[in-house]
């Protein structure tokens, strides 16, 4: 059986470890294409976490692969990560206790599976992936980005204005926690772990929280919110009576670098996986997240650093804004930059912080 390939969207060149983009050498690319045409029975192994959101993201990845390569045989491997196992303490404490701070608590086991050949690609929420990867691995591509905003979920339709002083806002993100305290210092931030449905259920029952913060992308992908709606207007959460969502404008509540994007990680030298992955990439999303992640790299910031950054892309021009909190207490620095090269624009943003 010949291995046929559909016509995918045009993609940009993909980078792996935070430096300039890596190109697959022509010889390796030709060898990878030969493998795909002559050995189609070889399965392509997709690794993912087992949470509801991770599985939806794996579904999206596999659908894109099937559309680009109709005869590609896909197999899914569900892998439980350190972050999935330890839900009893905060993510920062999990990272320190497990010695995975620099690798990310949601990727260690997926990378181990990549390394030993158990999977060919690892599907990640890009915001969980460290900006600098081990030399054995590379970020091959990203899918088209979902909405990037953060969402405040409450038990009243009054949104953030309806939260009384001292109200408890649950989140596991230090970035969200610091921004809540900065914008509404009268609120109390509490730690909240668990997958998206579990967090919504905890809020619905009034368990320790008056409001919670979640990513808009996850709520949309899981069907709790519609794809498009204006920011700032409370709306009901689908299938969760009594809960209301307020999408927070990104120029007021800065999202995480890479938020809303699905990233595909591969073995750095695996030309077959790179060629297949690049075929489903989205070039505009790649430019934006490359700039955002390069900014984090320049800051030497990790997944648990309180940094908010967002981008827009119009007619090939990038616009970046950032809010960077100190590790300890204090007001944030902000910056802004515009340009066409994601690396130079990230550098300009870094230099503009004040």
Reduced DSSP (H G I as helix, E B as strand, rest coil) percent helix, strand, coil of the chain, to 5 = 35, 20, 45
- Of the candidates 128, 150, 210, 270, the residue annotated as catalytic is 128
Nearest of 123, 153, 154, 150 to residue 139 by alpha carbon: 123
Q: What are the distances in angstroms from CA 273 to CA 24, 75, 78?
A: 11, 14, 18
Task: Tell the residue number behind the tokens 């999202």, with chain if given.
Answer: 255
Q: Please state, in angstroms and rounded to a whole number, the distance separating the CA atoms of residues 350 and 92.
A: 25
Cβ count near 80 (within 10 Å):
12
Both tokens of 307, joined, read 């940094």
- Element housing 235 (H / E): strand 235-236
Q: Please state, in angstroms and rounded to a whole number, the distance separating the CA atoms of residues 206 and 215.
A: 20
Reply yes or no on whether 115 is catalytic: no
Measured at the alpha carbon of residue 223, what is the angle toward residues 149 and 304, in degrees to the nearest 5?
40
Query: Which residues, 6+ apart, have CB-to-CB distance to 148 below 8 Å?
Result: 216, 217, 250, 255, 259, 260, 310
Both tokens of 245, joined, read 């969502």
Nearest of 11, 15, 102 to residue 346 by alpha carbon: 15
Both tokens of 293, joined, read 């992640």
Query: Which residues, 6+ apart, have CB-to-CB distance to 234 below 8 Å?
Result: 154, 157, 158, 159, 244, 245, 246
Q: Please state, in angstroms and rounded to a whole number, the distance separating the CA atoms of residues 306 and 176.
A: 8
Q: Please state, in angstroms and rounded to a whole number, the distance separating the CA atoms of residues 311 and 39.
A: 41
The DSSP secondary-structure symbol of 162 reads G
* Catalytic positions: 128
């Amino acid at each position: 059986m010949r291995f046929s390939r559909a016509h995918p969207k045009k993609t940009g060149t993909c980078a792996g470890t935070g430096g300039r983009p890596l190109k697959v050498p022509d010889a390796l690319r030709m060898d990878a294409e030969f493998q795909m045409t002559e050995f189609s029975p070889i399965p392509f192994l997709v690794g993912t976490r087992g949470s509801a959101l991770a599985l939806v993201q794996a579904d999206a990845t596999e659908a894109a692969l099937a559309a680009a390569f109709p005869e590609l045989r896909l197999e899914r491997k569900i892998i439980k990560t350190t972050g999935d196992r330890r839900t009893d303490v905060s993510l920062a404490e999990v990272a320190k206790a497990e010695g995975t701070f620099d690798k990310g608590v949601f990727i260690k086991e997926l990378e181990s599976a990549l390394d030993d050949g158990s999977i060919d690609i690892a599907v990640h929420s890009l915001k969980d992936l460290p900006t600098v990867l081990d030399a054995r691995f590379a970020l091959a591509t990203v899918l088209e980005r979902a909405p990037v905003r953060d969402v405040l979920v409450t038990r009243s339709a009054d949104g953030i204005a309806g939260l009384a002083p001292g109200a408890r806002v649950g989140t596991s993100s230090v970035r969200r926690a610091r921004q809540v305290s900065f914008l509404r210092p009268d609120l109390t931030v509490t730690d909240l772990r668990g997958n998206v449905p579990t967090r919504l259920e905890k809020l619905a029952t009034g368990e320790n929280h008056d409001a919670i913060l979640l990513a808009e992308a996850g709520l949309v992908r899981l069907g709790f919110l519609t794809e498009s709606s204006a920011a700032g207007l409370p709306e009901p959460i689908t299938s969760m009576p009594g809960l209301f969502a307020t999408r927070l404008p990104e120029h007021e509540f800065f999202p995480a670098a890479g938020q809303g994007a699905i990233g595909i990680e591969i073995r750095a030298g695996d030309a077959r996986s790179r060629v297949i992955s690049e075929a489903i990439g989205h070039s505009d999303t790649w430019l934006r997240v490359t700039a955002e992640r390069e900014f984090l790299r320049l800051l030497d910031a990790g997944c648990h650093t309180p940094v908010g950054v967002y981008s827009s892309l119009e007619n090939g021009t990038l616009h970046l804004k950032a809010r960077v909190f100190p590790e300890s207490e204090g007001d944030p620095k902000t910056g802004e930059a515009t340009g066409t090269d994601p690396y130079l624009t990230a550098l300009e943003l870094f230099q503009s912080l004040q």
